[in-house]
A and B are shown apart, each in its own frame.
Chain A
């Protein structure tokens, strides 16, 4: 089994750009799709990025995803930050019928 490691927290000002990383401990990051979920306090998670870089309908194009094989990591980038983006963000991937979530990153927009 593998792990996905995320920074515990990040903070940035409204209007700026922030990037959250997600590093896979073993196996290639490119071998299985990476997803990103947003969870606001008291709410269920929702998908903001799936299959590495795809946005579900309704998710603004301020959200983008990418993977970097050299660092074996995935990234979620949010540009033009808004206060409503303040939430916990989780990356997720899988292999061999085992789905794994990262530990989550708390994004503060201040």
Chain B
């Protein structure tokens, strides 16, 4: 069974750094792109970027380029999304999802990130 299990909710202060994770199982982790999607409170889905864990090839949405870093450790089947300096506007639910050809076929349960002073 394909599963993507994300790390737990985080509460951070503005200016702090953060790295959240997404662990894949039940399939060949290095053979599928993994994407990250943001959902701000009460808002829609926004594609942030994708990574191919096999060779760490990474693509970013122009809206998120330079704002976050996506990485992966194929030895432990885990993808990451990180911030070096959080802002209140980063408060959102973040989902990872497996990219199957053109679409995201399996999604993680989401990680809620709250940034507040």
Contact = CB atoms under 8 A, between A and B. Distances in A.
Contacts of B44: 88, 90, 101-104
A47 B108 contact: no
B103 A33 contact: yes
A27 to B, nearest CB: 15
B35 interface: yes
A44 B110 contact: yes
B105 interface: yes
Interface string A19-35: 00000000000001101
B105 A101 contact: no
Contact of A50 (B37, B50, B103): B103
Contacts of B45: 37, 39, 45, 90, 92, 101, 104
Interface in B74-117: 95, 97, 100-105, 107-110
A69 interface: no
Contacts, number: 62
A90 B44 CA distance: 8
Contact of A44 (B62, B102, B105, B109): B109
B79 to A, nearest CB: 16
A49 to B, nearest CB: 9
B35 A99 contact: yes
B47 A99 contact: yes
Given A93-B102, A99-B47, 9 more contacts: A37-B104, A45-B97, A45-B107, A51-B103, A90-B45, A92-B104, A97-B50, A98-B59, A99-B50
Interface of A: 1, 32-33, 35, 37, 39, 44-47, 50-51, 56, 88, 90, 92-94, 97-104
Interface of B: 35, 37, 44-47, 50, 59, 61-62, 95, 97, 100-105, 107-110
11 contacts: A35-B102, A45-B107, A47-B104, A47-B105, A51-B101, A88-B44, A92-B103, A98-B61, A98-B62, A99-B61, A101-B46
